[in-house]
């Protein structure tokens, strides 16, 4: 048992840990992995249901809600949002919901049989204060923390989510987001033809339902109450809140009544509705413990956390190196996580840096006050090398803006494009606000009509020298053009024939690649030279710039060059590499194992994603060969040649 929250003497605030058999869990883990990939590929999970949605981050949901909030602000749109939470979601969720979803989506019946077998007559031993109790047998319980639990929950709620979307299609009170030009019936851009209908947003057992009037919202909510009760879920009314935007005075009150089902003896009493009193908050939306599009509340929370953070005490004065590590691993890690959900203003980020500098000043006892610019400067530039909240906040805001406008989920991308269109055409006099011309305009006058993160990003982009601009593209991802240009450049370099093809008997279809780093023992930020080489029907050596480059990047770049150059030759080809991890990664790609999860934390993930894309377009056979051997086989000789070119290029 471990304490989770609030009062320690209340047993409901404690949680128990259940240990289960690895062999019993392995099939369910495999099923979860395969079924999640399939559900994502087939679009079974609604786009605004973020749990188990591949590639969606929590900040995407907060940014999506910020776009809805600012749409209501720009259009003076009356909007109501009801946030609800399921009571003990996993404890009460019936497995029948998962089985109904399997039938509804046409999935194999064997999935149901496997899940039933996994939780039928499960033997449980309970540890008490007097030792282990005898076994009890549990059936039909969705275990919280089990490998299938999140997916079973989301697949169950998908049916209700889609049912509500179908109902909302015919309702006048449904929120429908369009550009201001579309509302005026004067479309002149592709974005003016877009429409987003955000009826509900879900994150596991938390959700928000939207409507433009209270009567429609009450109907939506009553339908969802009936649906979730069918599978054992009840609403936690103590956590249910109604948010109102641009509501008339007649509808504003401290609490309002929301309808719910009436339950007696475990069943719904038809025709009887119970009314619950729900608090109303005006002019704000809160989701996942984040004030949506409110930089002030986020700054206050971070300032309070930094001011109340206690450094460990030692008998002697704490070394600066230890202080830097504590700040990086404790203070900055939490700060970065909170900023990723809601960035703060540039000036507010500077105040947070000063707050950390003041605490460091008191601990070090220096006679002068720390200057934050010197404190966050790197060691090579004679600074103290502390992390900079200002730079972290700037990076999060700018990357977030680019991610919103080019999101792989269609609904998120459409809402961002609608917001950008209104910013361009209605608020900025048809001047695109994210290039050099638009950046020169007064960007603060639109605060309140555009998400705060976007305003922060635009201001920071204008202050960089040279200015950073975000170019519009017809493709879904900004990096697509850069990738295409890089591949064309590699092909052009190979055609220059500065190095001759290998003189080995490669038959025009066998390659070898290698990487080199000098000095070989260089650290992450040390000065170094990294080289990638490929030889065979053609030979090419490239130098990789940047202090963060290492030998891994050189090895993967060699494989990337091999895939690009081999695509110009029509016959089946082979490439030998002595980098075993990369060869295994390619083998996993060929076995159709989804690599999205592993790539999120893998070193060199940008290069690996490039390699993954190339792998889907080429038919090159990649094989492993040992390095630095005296063998006379073709693969060993080609590997020696690649190693020679890589090492020779260092000189």
Is 370 exposed, middle or buried (CB count within 10 Å of its CB: 0-12, 13-18, 19+)? buried
Q: pLDDT band for 24, please (50, 70, 90 cuts).
A: confident
Domains of the chain: 2-287 (no CATH), 294-394 (no CATH), 475-649 (3.30.420.10)
Of the ranges 33-47, 56-70, 104-118, 584-598, which one carries the lowest mean pLDDT score? 584-598
Query: In the predicted model, is pLDDT for residue 351 greater than 90?
Result: yes
**82-102 confidence digits (pLDDT tens):** 999 887 666 678 889 999 999
Specify the pairing of strand 206-211 against strand 200-203.
Answer: antiparallel
Q: What is residue 357's predicted lDDT score, i.e. its pLDDT?
A: 92
What CA–CA distance (Å, rounded) separates 567 from 410?
Answer: 31
Q: pTM of the predicted model, to two decimals?
A: 0.76
- Residue, of 595 and 397, whose pLDDT is higher: 397
- Mean per-residue pLDDT of the chain: 88
DSSP H stretches of helix in 172-317: 180-183, 214-230, 295-307
Q: pLDDT band for 477, please (50, 70, 90 cuts).
A: very low
Query: In the predicted model, is pLDDT for residue 395 greater than 80?
Result: yes
The β-bridge partners of 584 are: none
Joined tokens for residue 555: 């090895």
Q: Are 406 and 425 in contact (CB under 8 A)?
A: no
Residue showing tokens 């404790």: 330
DSSP string, 114-138: HHHHHHSSEEE--EETTEEPPPEEE
Q: What is residue 475's predicted lDDT score, i.e. its pLDDT?
A: 46
Residue showing tokens 């509705």: 273
Q: Are 38 and 151 in contact (CB under 8 A)?
A: no
Whole-number CA gyration radius for the chain? 29
What CA–CA distance (Å, rounded) separates 166 from 224?
Answer: 13
- Residue, of 651 and 404, whose pLDDT is higher: 404
Percent of the chain with pLDDT over 90: 49
Classified as helix, coil or strand, 611 is helix
Q: What is residue 436's predicted lDDT score, i.e. its pLDDT?
A: 74
DSSP 554: H
- Residue, of 389 and 131, whose pLDDT is higher: 389
**207-257 confidence digits (pLDDT tens):** 999 999 999 999 999 999 999 998 888 888 989 999 999 999 999 999 999
Percent of the chain with pLDDT over 70: 96
Q: Are 125 and 135 in contact (CB under 8 A)?
A: yes
Of the ranges 68-77, 491-500, 630-639, which one carries the lowest mean pLDDT score? 491-500
Q: pLDDT band for 479, please (50, 70, 90 cuts).
A: low
Query: In the predicted model, is pLDDT for residue 187 greater than 70?
Result: yes
User: Which stretch of DSSP H or E encloses residue 512?
Assistant: strand 510-518
Query: In the predicted model, is pLDDT for residue 476 greater than 50?
Result: no
The β-bridge partners of 540 are: 534
Is 535 exposed, middle or buried (CB count within 10 Å of its CB: 0-12, 13-18, 19+)? buried
Q: Per DSSP, which regions of 265-310 are E strands?
A: 267-282, 286-287, 290-291
Q: What is residue 611's predicted lDDT score, i.e. its pLDDT?
A: 93
Q: Are 502 and 535 in contact (CB under 8 A)?
A: yes
Most confident of 259-268, 589-598, 603-612: 603-612
Q: pLDDT band for 6, please (50, 70, 90 cuts).
A: confident
The β-bridge partners of 40 are: none
User: Which stretch of DSSP H or E encloses residue 22?
Assistant: helix 22-42
Residues whose CB falls within 8 Å of the CB of residue 126, separated by 6 or more in sequence, listed in order: 132, 133, 136
What CA–CA distance (Å, rounded) separates 53 from 47?
Answer: 8
Q: What is residue 68's predicted lDDT score, i.e. its pLDDT?
A: 97
Q: Which residues of 164-194 are buried (b: 16+ CB within 10 A; e: fewer)?
A: bbebbeebebbbebbbbbbeeeebeeebbeb
- Residue, of 462 and 352, whose pLDDT is higher: 352
User: Which stretch of DSSP H or E encloses residue 243?
Assistant: strand 241-245
Report residue 258: phi and psi, to 5°. -125, 140
């Amino acid at each position: 048992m471990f304490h989770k929250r609030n009062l320690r003497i209340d047993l409901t605030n404690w949680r128990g840990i259940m240990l289960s058999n690895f062999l019993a869990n392995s099939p369910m883990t495999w099923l979860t992995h395969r079924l999640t990939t399939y559900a994502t590929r087939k679009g079974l999970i609604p786009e605004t249901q973020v749990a188990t949605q591949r590639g969606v981050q929590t900040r995407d949901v907060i940014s999506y809600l910020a776009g809805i909030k600012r749409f209501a602000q720009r259009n003076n749109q009356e909007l109501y949002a009801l946030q609800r939470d399921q009571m003990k979601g996993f404890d009460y969720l019936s497995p029948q919901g998962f089985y109904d979803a399997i039938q509804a989506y046409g999935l194999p019946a064997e999935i149901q049989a496997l899940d039933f077998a996994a939780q039928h007559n499960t033997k449980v031993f309970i540890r008490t204060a007097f030792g282990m109790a005898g076994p009890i047998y549990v059936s039909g319980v969705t275990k919280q923390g089990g490998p299938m639990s999140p997916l079973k929950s989301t697949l169950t709620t998908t049916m209700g989510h889609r049912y509500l979307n179908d109902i909302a299609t015919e309702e006048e009170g449904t929120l429908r987001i369009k550009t201001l030009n579309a509302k005026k019936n004067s479309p002149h851009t592709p974005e003016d033809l877009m429409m987003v209908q955000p009826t509900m947003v879900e994150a596991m057992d938390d959700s928000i339902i939207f409507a433009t009037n209270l009567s429609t919202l009450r109907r939506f909510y009553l339908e969802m109450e009936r649906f979730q009760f069918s599978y054992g879920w009840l609403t936690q009314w103590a956590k249910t809140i109604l948010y109102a935007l641009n509501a008339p005075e007649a509808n504003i009150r401290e609490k309002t009544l929301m309808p719910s089902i009436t339950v007696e003896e475990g069943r719904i009493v038809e025709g009887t509705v119970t009314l619950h009193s729900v608090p109303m908050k005006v002019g704000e939306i809160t989701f996942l413990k984040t004030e949506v599009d409110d930089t002030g509340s986020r700054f206050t929370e971070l300032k309070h956390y930094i001011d109340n953070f206690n450094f460990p005490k030692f008998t002697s004065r704490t070394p600066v190196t230890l202080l830097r590590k504590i700040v990086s691993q404790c203070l900055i890690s939490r700060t970065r996580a909170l900023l990723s959900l809601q960035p703060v203003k540039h000036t507010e980020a500077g105040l947070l840096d000063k707050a950390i500098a003041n605490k460091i000043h008191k601990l070090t006892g220096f006679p002068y006050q720390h200057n934050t610019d010197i404190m966050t400067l790197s060691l090579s530039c004679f600074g103290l090398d502390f992390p900079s909240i200002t730079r972290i906040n700037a990076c999060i805001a700018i990357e977030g803006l680019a991610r919103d406008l080019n999101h792989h989920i269609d609904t998120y991308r459409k809402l961002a494009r609608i917001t950008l269109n209104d910013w361009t055409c209605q608020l900025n006099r048809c001047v695109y606000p994210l290039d050099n011309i638009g950046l020169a305009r007064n960007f603060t006058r639109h605060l309140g009509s555009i998400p705060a993160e976007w305003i922060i990003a635009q201001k920071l982009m204008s202050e960089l020298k040279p200015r950073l601009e975000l170019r519009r593209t017809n493709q879904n991802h900004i990096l697509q053009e850069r990738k295409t240009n890089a591949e064309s450049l590699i092909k052009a370099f190979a055609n220059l024939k500065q190095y001759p093809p290998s003189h080995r008997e490669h038959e025009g279809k066998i390659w070898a690649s290698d990487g080199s780093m000098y000095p070989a023992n260089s650290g992450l930020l040390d000065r170094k030279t990294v080289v990638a080489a490929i030889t065979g029907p053609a030979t090419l050596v490239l130098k990789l710039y940047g202090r963060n480059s290492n030998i891994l990047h050189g090895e993967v770049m060699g494989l990337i060059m091999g895939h690009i150059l081999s695509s110009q030759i029509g016959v089946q080809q082979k490439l030998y590499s002595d980098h075993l991890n990369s060869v295994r990664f390619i083998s996993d790609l060929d076995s159709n194992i989804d690599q999205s999860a592993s790539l999120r934390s893998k070193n060199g993930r940008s290069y690996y994603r490039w390699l993954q894309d190339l792998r889907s377009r080429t038919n090159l056979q990649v094989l492993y060969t040992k390095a630095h051997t005296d063998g006379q086989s073709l693969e060993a000789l080609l590997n020696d040649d690649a190693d020679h070119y890589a090492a020779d290029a260092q000189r």
